[in-house]
Amino acid sequence: MNILEKESQLVEEFSGLSEWMDRYALLIEKGKTCPVLPDSEKNDSFLIKGCQSRVWIKAELKEDGKVYFQADSDAVITKGIASMLLYVFSGEEPKAIVDAPVDFLDKIGLKEHLSPTRSNGLTAMLKQIKLYALALSMKK
């Protein structure tokens, strides 16, 4: 699946839930599937600035020319958000990540149901993922 197909799948999955408590529960479940960053790499170089919670995201360009991400957070909802972003962008080429629209977050309605600080954190995570992809695209 490409980025747009993964985004569409998430929109469909979330739109099937009418109550926001159910959507938060789904986010928490998604957090349990997040490609975990080892404790040894939970340091300031991977810490996302601007998040209410502590969240770390690491990116690696593999030999196949695609970027793979790992993440972790000390908050379950934040970890779920990170997991969703990693699902969409991990295993994709850097240019595809940089160029990808992220309107799926608006379609899910996620930003409007997060506190302002969590919404800022979501924006910071997304910005960092795109910055990693941009930097890694120059290594190719």
Domain of residue 42: give its range: 3-137
CATH number, residue 66: 3.90.1010.10
Structure tokens at 134: 């941009």
51, 67, 85, 122: which is the annotated catalytic residue? Answer: 51
Query: 38 phi and psi, to 5 degrees?
Result: -60, 150
Classify the C-alpha dihedral 125-51-59-77 as positive or negative.
negative
Q: How would you write the pLDDT of the chain (140 residues) with one tens digit per residue? A: 999 999 999 999 999 888 888 988 999 999 988 877 888 999 999 999 877 789 999 999 999 999 999 999 988 888 999 999 999 999 999 999 999 988 888 888 887 778 777 888 888 999 999 999 999 998 75
Could you confirm whether 51 is annotated as catalytic? yes
**Count of domains in the chain?**
1
Classify the C-alpha dihedral 48-52-55-57 as positive or negative.
negative
Using a cut of 0.75, tell me whether the model's pTM lies above it: yes
